[in-house]
Amino acid sequence: MQTLIQRLTRRYQSSNRELSEALRDLMRSAPHLDAPMREHGNATPVPLDGDSRQALIRSEQLGPVTTPVLTSAVKTQIEQLRDEHRMRDRLQRAGLAPSRTGLFVGPPGVGKTLAAHWLASELKVPLLVLDLATVMSSYLGRTGSNIRKVLDYAKSSPSVLLLDELDTVAKRRDDEAEVGELKRLVTVLLQEIDDWPPTSLLLAATNHGKLLDPAVWRRFDVIVDFPLPGPAEMQEALMQYCGDENQEVIDFLGRVLAGHSFADAERFVAGAKRRAALREERLFDSLLQAAQDRLRVMDHADRLQIALDLMQDSELSQRRVSELTGVSRDTLRRRQRNT
């Protein structure tokens, strides 16, 4: 598309100067893969690795972003991060600055990356993601230089920079398995975080908080712990993924997927949707069948607990719970009498 507009600009330069100028202005204002922050006044191309010439960061194209399902505590922290940067002038009048950095900690699939996308979308700034596989140069002495390039670029205009899988580079410096160059890299990273400006937001995500150097934790203004979803959060997410399915299937799926991540639940529902399309059956039937298939491979004690939870927390009858879980009504009656 960029190439086509350039050709049209040259073609109409003589015959339709006004159109040519309009096309040129469009090129100047539009984001570009090589300069994603162009619309924010920065036409500098993204930094490249000196050896491979690959881009050290990628810019995520932000369309409509689904509001992530989060626990109440996490949602409060994420919304405050947004509001601090939206209403920076209020903080300045009080002699304060917005939080510059945030560390997202939690297992895979609990919404850390989606929260970063949502923040960038809410703040209407580019989301830049550090590609750690690329930034780790084959010549370790250049890795520190690569990180400086990335962070200097992200500082140059308002943006949200996400350092994903931070533990890849910010490991404990007392880890004897790591070479000295990687330990020096942690020092470089800490220096760069300390120098981060309040005009942009630096976010880092890790699935393995215990691997991080203790000094890394102290450098972040906000630390957000993303837990696995509880029953309420799982049900809310399932309502997003399943659409207009009735409450019975949502209650049942919520119990079957207890202890799993949002990503696990989304994959489960997506698989059921494909199955329903292939077999030309109702999504309701496909979801129930997939959940029952998963129940069959569980221990009897786990299936019984799911059945008892459904009996207690949903409006399903004892007969229906028995049909869904495969636990006999006699077993359910005995357990209820003993509780």
Q: Which domain holds residue 255?
A: 231-338
> Can you give the pLDDT at residue 87?
94
Do 188 and 50 lie in one domain? The reply is: yes
Strand 127-130, strand 57-60: pairing: antiparallel
Do 244 and 153 lie in one domain? The reply is: no
pTM of the model: 0.78
Do 76 and 220 lie in one domain? The reply is: yes
Domain boundary among the residues 176, 208, 225 is at 225
To the nearest 10 degrees (0 to 180), the angle between helices 300-313 and 318-325 is 150
> Can you give the pLDDT at residue 1?
46
pLDDT in tens, 191-223: 888 889 888 999 999 998 888 888 889 899 999
pLDDT in tens, 146-164: 778 888 888 888 899 998 8
DSSP state of 45: P
Query: pLDDT band for position 178 (50/70/90)?
Result: low
Residue 88 CB neighbour total at 10 angstroms: 15
> Can you give the pLDDT at residue 173?
54
Q: Which two tokens stand for residue 176?
A: 């004897």
Q: Do residues 196 and 155 make contact, with C-beta atoms less than 8 angstroms apart? A: yes
Do 112 and 141 lie in one domain? The reply is: yes
**Tally of domains within the chain:** 3
Q: Write the CATH number for 185.
A: 3.40.50.300
Euclidean distance between CA atoms 69 and 240, whole angstroms:
9
For residue 172, pLDDT beyond 80: no
For residue 286, pLDDT beyond 70: yes
Euclidean distance between CA atoms 116 and 204, whole angstroms:
9
Euclidean distance between CA atoms 114 and 110, whole angstroms:
9
Domain boundary among the residues 225, 259, 287 is at 225
